[in-house]
Amino acid sequence: MRPFRAISIATAFAACGAGCKAAPPLGAISIGTLTVAEANLAGNPELPESAAQVRRELQAALESTGHFTVREGGEARVRLEIDQARRVLAPAPSVAAGQIAPEREMADVAVSLEMTMPGAGGETERLLAEGEARRPTGADDALDPALRAAAFDASLDAALREAVVALNYQVEARKKTDGALMSDLSSPDSRLRDYAIRVLADRRSPAAVPNLVLRLQDENDDVARRAVGALVAIGDRRAVRPLIEMTRKRRPEQVRPILYALGSLGGGEAEAFLFTLESGSPDEEVRRAARDAFADLSGRKDEATRTEAAAQAMPGKK
């Protein structure tokens, strides 16, 4: 596990002066600890900031939303990790017709946030959010290292803001009714669709199944995969036939997790499809995945049969 450095909230307040003493916005989530993966940050030398600087930027991004406040004694904890900070080459945004877009160096930064806080039922809620941003370094036009450092700083700021927005979307999604979440499944914003699916999966509401089935054809592959997982979590076999149809429109590497989902849901239709596919698919990887899913399904059926037989054999059972 990577070491993390939790920076004292009290020290932060002393440093920022009287401006930090303002009352937090009504309903804001109170964050007691902001943690930066210090060793992880040191492993990305393109970033010029210290852990303390990154923490201040994260606090500013969180509090700018009006939905989070950082203060001593807050129940929530937020941890930041730098997933990557690297130079990449990307085409220029626009060129004249018929010309090839020249590549230019970009500062690419990706981060992830984890927030944990007490849930309503006493359990710990855990939310994960990601952010990524790119900014041109200007290295194609000048050799000044300060330009590259500034580009990475700007990319980090933008990635932090994106991750914070994603975190806030998740918090807000958990406050919504099932009906409101199902409406979000039709949002043009893929993040809203994604987070709505996550919450509906957690709630395991059968009423959401028809709406989730529609998202199996989502233009965003990540959202479509999330819908598969949600349908498995709910465990409603109305999803079996749409999942079978989904396999006919996906590449072999995309089919494998769908087959495992079918094996998890079970039922005669899923069983017959997996049995046919394990010998009839032209792709070896698909055949293997179908065979594994079929074996898992059969094993669960056998276990259920033995359990039922044992229950029937108990004294007093007929």
pLDDT digits (tens, 9 = 90+) for 249-293: 899 989 999 999 999 999 999 999 999 999 889 999 999 999 999
Query: What local confidence, expressed as pLDDT, does residue 4 receive?
Result: 45
Mean pLDDT over the full length of the chain: 88
The residues pairing with 104 across neighbouring beta strands, listed in sequence order, are 90
Q: Are strands 76-91 and 29-36 parallel, antiparallel or unpaired?
A: parallel
Strands, E, within the chain: which ranges? 5-6, 29-36, 68-70, 76-91, 103-118, 124-136
| pLDDT at residue 135 is higher than 90 | yes
Greatest pairwise CA separation for the chain in angstroms? 87
| pLDDT at residue 139 is higher than 90 | no
- Strand, helix or coil for residue 8: coil
Residue 317: pLDDT band (50, 70, 90) is low
In the chain, the percentage of residues whose pLDDT exceeds 90 is: 70
> Which domains can be identified in the chain, with CATH numbers?
5-173 (3.30.160.150), 178-313 (1.25.10.10)
Query: What local confidence, expressed as pLDDT, does residue 187 receive?
Result: 96
For residues 41 and 36, give the distance between their C-alpha atoms in angstroms, rounded to a whole number.
8
The type of residue at 177 is T
- The per-residue pLDDT for range 58-79, each reduced to its tens digit, is 999 999 999 999 999 999 999 9
DSSP alpha helix (H) spans, 174-189 = 178-184
The residues pairing with 131 across neighbouring beta strands, listed in sequence order, are 111
Average pLDDT over residues 170-186: 95
For residues 161 and 48, give the distance between their C-alpha atoms in angstroms, rounded to a whole number.
18
| pLDDT at residue 1 is higher than 90 | no
Query: What local confidence, expressed as pLDDT, does residue 316 receive?
Result: 63
- The per-residue pLDDT for range 19-51, each reduced to its tens digit, is 455 566 778 999 999 999 999 999 999 998 999
- The per-residue pLDDT for range 206-229, each reduced to its tens digit, is 999 999 999 999 999 999 999 999
pTM score, whole prediction: 0.76
Query: What local confidence, expressed as pLDDT, does residue 7 receive?
Result: 45
8 Å CB contact between 284 and 256: no
- Among 32, 24, 16, residue whose Cα is nearest residue 66: 24
- The per-residue pLDDT for range 73-128, each reduced to its tens digit, is 999 999 999 999 999 998 777 656 667 667 788 999 999 999 999 987 788 999 99
In the chain, the percentage of residues whose pLDDT exceeds 70 is: 87
| pLDDT at residue 2 is higher than 90 | no
